[in-house]
Amino acid sequence: MKIVSLSGIIGYGYTEEGLKNALKQKIDIIGSDGGSSDPGPYYLGSGKSFTERNAVKRDLELALPEAIKRNIPFIVGTAGGAGGEPHLKWAREIYEEVAREQRLNFKMALIHCEIDKDYLKNKLREGKIKSFGNNPPLTEKDIEESIRIVGQIGVDPFINALKNGAQVILAGRACDTAIFASSAIKAGYEPGLAYHMAKIIECGAMCTIPLSASDVMVAEINKDNFILEPPNSLRKCTVERVAAHTLYEQVNPYYIYEPDGIVDLRKSEFKQLTDRSVKVSGSKFIAGDKKTIKIEGVKLAGYRTISICGVRDMLMIKDIKKILEDVKVKVEENLGNRVSSNDYSIIFRKYGIDAVEGEIEVLKDLPHEVGIVVDVVGKTQEIANVVCSITRANLLHFDYSGRKATAGNIAFPYSPSDIPVGPVYNFNIYHLVEVEDLSETSKIEFVEVGT
């Protein structure tokens, strides 16, 4: 069985050459991941995608007609970047538009992955929700406060959709591996090999030289092994790259955790087959005694306004930590009774000093220039705007001790100087739910597209 991964994330692009060469082979499944939690909580909270509509459409326009024409199932998971209801709706409209424009007809399974709050509260009361590591235990308040909660589905709902004749599957939040492993597991291949193969190709051609998350990857799964060979002749797979990709974003490279068990990679072997292909064998699946679904939820943290500026004056830079603390005090005085200090937070991000590493920064030499992001989060957008404007004005004119540049302390690259960013969200749920049935957190809806 041969499985194509179009791109690291649909909308990140792929080469036409990669797709063309892949389709010269007998392909059984075309899939792509559609999202990630990496870009942070904003997208799940706001219902927006971090991928661009036109870019997603381009990636569909080339591959979807080829899949339909050849009767190859086309599978995308974590639709719309975060896999909630608005994301699924957004992605569905793009599929329907492409179908209309290219006169395609197909049966599509939409897998809804948002989780009902009452269902979770019941699970919580039954003691079926667990934390990861040091994450605090989930509370009913967390569930109440959450704006949107999704559950990462495994292979089961995908297999159900395939069994019911779906030509296209568009799923909400899903394990990356489930997109590519489901058809192989359904066909009876060793789940350990299927999951391991899926884990490597879900990022597109990230396991090749030169690596790219924006190109097509092909894997062939067999009874005792799987073979990886990039279809784009520019690239090749090496043992080092493939094994290194097994490490990527994983806590432990010897195990892959799936909703229905773990994949043990301790006996996995990686062999260079040709100079462009690698054969992997020995990966074993161990069924878990409990079935679990990972859930993600976000709550509103406030509204943000930022101002970007730079400091070039060494007299200021040498005391910048204290100066910025003093500015915060001034701002609080200025705001007086108008805005309570409980309703906003001010963060000065000092690029050039410690903005990236924070307190763990090991290099203490001061630079000659510091970039500052004045970062204000308020209870409302109005509060964030007013606090940012007062902070920016105080920072500009603050009369610190030893000051000689009395005309102004900061250089603004922009007018207007303040940028309202909008709502800010936090992940407040990142837990595991024990389930009886791995399909119970999701719902499949079948629709006929194009007729």
Partner 1 sequence: MDNLIDLASILRSKNAGPLNVTFDIIFSDKETFNRVKNSKIINKKLISELYKVDEEDIFILEFGVVNAIKITIPRKLTSGDIRDTDIYGCQQHGPLLTIKIP
The pair of three-digit structure tokens given for residue 18, joined into one six-digit string: 């990669």
Positive or negative, the CA dihedral 325, 330, 334, 338 is positive
Please tell me whether residue 248 adopts helix, strand or coil conformation. coil
d(CA 3, CA 197): 9
Nearer to partner 1, 360 or 407 (CB): 360
Nearer to partner 1, 176 or 313 (CB): 176
Nearer to partner 1, 255 or 412 (CB): 255
Answer left, alpha or beta for residue 367, where phi above 0 means left and psi between -120 and 50 means alpha. beta
Per residue in 4-37, is it b (16+ CB within 10 Å) or e — as a string? bbbbbbbbbbbbeebbebbbeeebbbbbbbbbbb
The pair of three-digit structure tokens given for residue 46, joined into one six-digit string: 């706001």
Place of tokens 């690239």: 235
Nearer to partner 1, 362 or 407 (CB): 362
Shortest Å distance, C-beta 348 to partner 1: 11
Q: Where are the beta strands (DSSP E) in 229-366?
A: 236-237, 255-258, 261-264, 269-274, 277-281, 284-287, 291-311, 344-351
Shortest Å distance, C-beta 45 to partner 1: 9
Place of tokens 């870019």: 55
Contacts (Cβ under 8 Å, ≥6 apart) of 357: none
Rg of the chain in Å (alpha carbons): 25
d(CA 446, CA 169): 9
Shortest Å distance, C-beta 267 to partner 1: 11
Question: Helices H, strands E: what count in the chain?
Answer: 13, 21
Nearer to partner 1, 1 or 143 (CB): 143
Shortest Å distance, C-beta 357 to partner 1: 5
Nearer to partner 1, 67 or 265 (CB): 265
Shortest Å distance, C-beta 369 to partner 1: 19
Shortest Å distance, C-beta 253 to partner 1: 5
Nearer to partner 1, 42 or 195 (CB): 42
Chain residues that interact with partner 1, rule: CB under 8 A: 37-42, 132-135, 239-240, 243-244, 246-254, 268, 270, 301-302, 304, 345, 347, 349, 355-363, 375, 377, 424-427, 430
Nearer to partner 1, 235 or 299 (CB): 299
d(CA 221, CA 243): 17
Q: How do 344-351 and 284-287 pair as beta strands?
A: unpaired
Nearer to partner 1, 41 or 73 (CB): 41
Under a CB-based contact definition with an 8 Å cutoff, are residues 131 and 137 in contact? Answer: yes
Shortest Å distance, C-beta 296 to partner 1: 8
d(CA 424, CA 70): 44
Nearer to partner 1, 300 or 411 (CB): 300
Shortest Å distance, C-beta 356 to partner 1: 5
Nearest to 91 by CA among 19, 167, 168, 165: 168
Q: What is the DSSP letter of 128?
A: -
Shortest Å distance, C-beta 59 to partner 1: 22
Nearer to partner 1, 251 or 407 (CB): 251
| Number of Cα atoms under 13 Å in the Cβ half of residue 39 | 16
Shortest Å distance, C-beta 179 to partner 1: 18
Please tell me whether residue 417 adopts helix, strand or coil conformation. coil
Shortest Å distance, C-beta 101 to partner 1: 35
